[in-house]
A and B are shown apart, each in its own frame.
Chain A
Amino acid sequence: MADALEVVVRVVAVLAAFLTLPLLVGQTEHKVMAHMQGRLGPMYAGGFHGWAQLVADGVKFMQKEDVTPAAADRRVFRLAPAVALVPYLVAMVAIPLAPGVVGAELDAGLLFVLAASAVGVLGTLMAGWSSANKYALLGGLRAAAQLLSYELPIVLAASSVAMAAGTLSLVGIGEAWRPWWLVWQAPALLCFLVAGVAELQRPPFDMPVADSEIVFGPYTEYTGLRFAFFLLSEYAGIVVLSALTAVLFLGGWHGPFSDALGWLWTLLKTGAVAVLVIWVRVAWPRLREDQLQALAWKVLVPLALAQLALTGLVVVMIS
């Protein structure tokens, strides 16, 4: 009985985090972007600092007509937003905020989270394929190419930390983390972040979406709530990526008073990484398709491999 109750509590807590954190990131993006670009538009709705902008956006999305193109593959087309969104919920289950403060403590947590969040991109591919629109198809193909190139650096960078900690459990990696890893694993951190942002197809890696050349990539035909789900999955993706970065590379719950306030540290570090992801979006221009591929194969993969070799060397020397 007590076990069942605990499961319910954990599920509800993860669900609550899933429903609030992406919105929080979205709100932050509104405000940070507005400030960085000197815009007043997002500061208007609802009075103080435009707090109601997200609510207004939600209402707007709900009012819009839900259009499915006549030539579309209807079932796939309608399923795609869910396929994009739900994997991040699943991934969040296994990310710990502190030892014990986690939806489900898995032995192979790292593997689970990486696998689950990689499924999210499938939603984009489904959307691009089923829309019966050549822009969407082009965007989908670009997304597929991007997914292929950047999955490798992510996995390599993550396995470097796993190797250093000697475990695939996220809690285990967090426990084994030491501050000097910040230097030791810095290249892996860089690889992980860059490749993660690319996986999310966010600027500067939004080649598949490229609103100015292929209209809106895989999402061209989407309207209303289904489109909003795609947006939401992007923010959920940021949350997962930031939380994972915080736990793997930034020491998660390590910090002053970490016995009582460990979860707060993790949340703060997650927030900092999320702001960085937003900041990069505002500051940098979009990469061209060939630059994008070159960055993945010529820079990130060799860097991640070198990091892996270095990690192996140091691990062997220490033990």
Chain B
Amino acid sequence: MSDRPQPKPGKPGLPGLIKGLAVTAKNLTTPSHTAEYPDVEPSLPPRSRGVIALVQENCTVCMLCARECPDWCIYIDSHKETLPAATEGGRERQRNVLDRFDIDFSLCMYCGICVEVCPFDALEWSPEFEYAELDIKDLLHDKERLSQWFATVPPPPGPEAGAAEPKEVAAALRPARPRRPVRPPAGGADGGAAPPPGEQA
């Protein structure tokens, strides 16, 4: 235990009153740093969650995002299209075509689960946040509107300094593995296959 007297927190009295005057006087003489938002654009970090952008070409209509969304505010409709066989006698293929992709931003709680869960990077966060509407109906963004937001998605930030290399880069830089010797098949009647080139002579 220290024998120094501890200051009592929030003790009322004259010193407190004078302190109050001092604080307000200091505020009076120092300019405030309030962000003047409508006049001055705020500088947002690149990963801020403003609105969700959609890359239509990437979406395979797997429905993961719509199912994981806690608010169920993603609405997806699609139909199947049959592609003719690429080669003669080949198999016809089917693929999903996106008819409708809506996100209702009056329900969305910006949890980001849909962006995380999409296996095909079809959803991205954009920092744009100024899409207030006079009618709540207009907060339902259709796939065209969601696609337009993609222009505002900032490029992903590079890896941190000193971070481990991304897996694909590391794999590409690794030296090629030496060829493994092929063992001759055991017990061939005709003396086996030709020995590997290194073992001749």
Instruction: Using CB atoms and an 8 Å cutoff, list the residues of chain A in contact with chain B.
Output: 32, 35-40, 279-280, 282-284
Contact = CB atoms under 8 A, between A and B. Distances in A.
B17 A284 contact: yes
6 contacts: A35-B32, A37-B27, A38-B27, A40-B34, A279-B25, A284-B17
A36 B34 contact: no
B20 A284 contact: yes
A123 B36 CA distance: 41
Interface size class of B (residues with CB under 8 A): 10 to 19
B28 interface: yes
B82 interface: no
B25 A38 contact: no
Contacts of B23: 283
A283 B20 contact: yes
A283 B24 contact: yes
Interface of B: 17, 20-21, 23-25, 27-28, 32-34, 36
- Chief secondary structure at chain B's binding surface: helix
A204 to B, nearest CB: 9
A40 B32 contact: yes
A174 B36 CA distance: 48
Q: Which 5 A-B pairs have the closest CB atoms?
A: A38-B32, A283-B20, A36-B24, A283-B24, A35-B28
Contacts of A38: 27, 32-34
A271 to B, nearest CB: 15
A37 B21 CA distance: 12
Contacts of B33: 38
A39 B32 CA distance: 8
Nearest to A276: B21
A282 to B, nearest CB: 5
A283 B28 contact: no
